Structure 1
């Protein structure tokens, strides 16, 4: 099976199903069509006895995938068409769920920027391999969204309060940080990837991908910040976290407050609430995606998404006018964004197109 397009290359090679993101000039940003093609491949290979495992990688050196291609989301949303965005997010999240729950090993090889939608493709597999160039982040609060594509579950499963810290500050994780936080499993030099891929394709034996996971991971700066993260990011609400950070002056609190000061208060408040709801043994991917969709469904007409994209990407003035200020975010605003959607709730079992 081979399905090539200018944006994505989907094929079988030996015993492996191969998915290669192929928009290097756009940092491999995910388009709607790419999401649907990935889902179709997952459906085709799930019960295909000729496919023993999946390999997901990306062309170019700068990025595995720097996020979603949101130009059309913004255009349609500004025109008052919220249905397009809601359909896109529902279809993307369905793909994320299928990838997370895929019954065969999934090996992802991630270099450079891995952000937003890239996390949803690269960080849900069984064997997540990065090289030393990797920079992984969930920066959605900066454009009026919340960490989505299943990223909220990864944040909730991170050690201690690392999830709150990463979600609210959009801090970039190095290879060592990503392994420490649970977004990756191993670090392998890029020049060793071709041999690994060839071995996996030839044998279909996942043991080849497990060997790097047994090696000691690179050092993690994030792990050295745990005392500060625990001290300041354990509050029940966004305001509790902000007050704790503002009560102590040091390099850590100054950096955190600077980054949080750029983000949507509503998005950050909802991010804290979502992580708290998902923390614990009962949380799973479908619960996370359902919560995320409650927010993204409302993000254009009730949230800060359109304003966030305008300020960061369209006008690039970096001066968003958020609906709320940092210390004046009503609890009810958070609750309203995360209310159940009733008949509009996310459905993962059948297509919404």
Structure 2
């Protein structure tokens, strides 16, 4: 078992705690594989009724995947290790999405990227005043993945497109308003919630209902009309033009943000979200996202974005292509095209069982 995880049971509860605080519990290949192994084992164990997922210490639940290591893979082994990471991480997300037993995830802190993949498939998603949720992949030349093409289009209005393009950070109240969280608890009630769930797993809903509180008004809701109007199009050029023509300070701020993002990432995200509602199932969604992931990491923007944001930290990436107009439909078609059969993503066989 990975030393970055604590995997154990309390009676009928399976408990997974992330233990990599110095990296805000960013997921590695070994961590994803170990979590999946535990879930597969518990899936077949009639003694396990419910699964808890949390972090052991620190301010972050899970800050995403270890993209610095993936960049290193791109530069040193042609992306082989990076492809293995996404293959396993996406299998884990699909396994959670199809899991027949309740999964309870505590989003008590930074929840980004891979952390979103550990929370959105869960039956119960607990936000607190410490929750900081985002899909910031456009800033590093990637794209909102880990099932985003499935769950972001299902958020209210055009909120999903807004989050995918801007990487906007949501607090716990906003997550609850948008449906990304099922419950909102004060962080001081988390320990009690876990203890009571462990003691009476059959009373999960009652426990969470009793400990939930009304969150403060969601700031995101105040801008919902602007989001729906200005992010209405599936064309990036249209969205940029709409923001530029709007006189509000809010639009100016979001326009500046979009112009700092990888145009390729933004166009991939918009197409992914437009097609997501038409996927036949979540496995198909993850198969498409794997195509995009293995191709995105080998495109110039990924290595450059990670360099600018996380390695050199100068925050001045040089995107290629540099503008929305130069990201062609042909390039997008190439990125979305099916992989050869021996390279395509496949779910765990256990996740396909009834």
User: Aligned partners of 1:164 and 1:289: how far apart in 2?
Assistant: 18
| Residue 289 (str. 1) matches residue 289 (str. 2) | no
Checking the alignment, whether the CA contact within 8 Å between 1:116 and 1:138 is kept in structure 2 is yes
Q: 1:292-313 deviations in whole A, cap 9, x for unaligned? A: 1111111132352111111111
Q: CA deviation at 1:6?
A: 3.0
- Provide the residue aligned with 1:335 in structure 2: 333
Write the deviation string for residues 87-140 of structure 1: whole angstroms up to 9, x where unpaired: 110111001100111101111111121000111012220010011111100001
Are 1:156 and 2:150 an aligned pair? Answer: no
Give the stretch that moved more between structures: 328-337 or 188-197. Answer: 328-337
Where do 1:184-199 residues align within 5 Å?
184-199=181-196
Structure-2 residue corresponding to 1:239: 237
CA contact (8 A) 1:186 1:212 kept: no
Name whichever of 98-107 and 22-31 sits farther off. Answer: 22-31
Deviates more, 1:140-149 or 1:59-68: 59-68
Partners in 2 of 1:323 and 1:80 — Cα distance?
Answer: 22
Query: Separation in 1 of the partners of 2:261 and 2:211?
Result: 35
8 Å Cα contact 2:15-2:51 kept in structure 1 = yes
**SS across alignment from 1:279:** helix
TM-score, length-normalised on structure 2?
0.93
Is 1:131 the counterpart of 2:167 in the alignment? no
- Distance in 2 (CA, whole Å) between partners of 1:154 and 1:131 is 21
Task: Provide closer, same or farther for how the CA distance between residues 270 and 303 of structure 1 changes in structure 2, counting only shifts above 3 A.
Answer: farther
Return the alpha-carbon distance in structure 2 between the equivalents of residues 240 and 212 of structure 1: 46
State the secondary structure of the residue aligned to 1:79. Answer: helix
| More moved, 100-109 vs 297-306 | 297-306
How many residues are paired up? 347
**Alpha-carbon separation, structure 2, partners of 1:76 and 1:295:** 17
| Stretches of structure 1 lacking an aligned partner (at least 5 in a row) | none
Within-5 A mapping of 1:102-251 = 102-205=99-202, 206-211=204-209, 216-251=214-249
User: Using the alignment, how far apart are the partners of 1:321 and 1:166 within structure 2?
Assistant: 22
Aligned alpha-carbon RMSD (Å): 1.8
Residue 71 of structure 1 is matched in structure 2 by 68
> Closer, same or farther in 2 for the Cα pair 1:348/1:209, shift >3 Å?
farther
Cα pair 1:15 1:202 within 8 Å, conserved:
no
Work out the CA distance in 1 between the residues paired with 2:270 and 2:324. Answer: 15
1:213 positional shift: 8.6
TM normalised by structure 1 equals 0.93
> What per-residue deviation string (whole Å, max 9, x for no partner) do you get for residues 45-102 of structure 1?
0021111100011022411011111232111211252222111101110011001111
